[in-house]
Amino acid sequence: MPQTLSAAKELRKAKIRQIQNLAVKTVMKIRIKALNTLIQDKNKAEAKKTLYAVYQAIDKATKKGVIQKNAASRKKSRLTQQINKLS
């Protein structure tokens, strides 16, 4: 347990941030899973439409500091490559 008032406040803030970060990360993962399902079904038209929503979720997670900039770039690049491979 925290010994000082400031340490207790930091603990409370950390718990709130953890919940907020988890929410952002969960939305991102759900959208990526939906896109991967469309890629597995070889549905290129729907996958391209869903890609925009995935980009938004990844960018939001990056902006909030949930994932790093290079990790976001890598995820977006790999998803785009998978969609472009579909025929």
**pLDDT score for 1:** 86
Global pTM?
Answer: 0.88
- Ordered by start, the domain boundaries in the chain are 42-87
| 31-78 pLDDT per residue, tens | 999 999 999 999 999 999 999 999 999 999 999 999 999 999 999 999
Q: What number of CA atoms fall less than 13 Å from residue 58's CA on the CB side?
A: 23
Q: Which residues of 37-75 are buried (b: 16+ CB within 10 A; e: fewer)?
A: ebbeeeeeeebeebbeebbebbeebbeeebbeeeebeeb
Summarize pLDDT for 2-40 with one digit per residue, the tens: 899 999 999 999 999 999 999 999 999 999 999 999 999
The yes-or-no verdict on residue 81 having pLDDT over 90 is yes
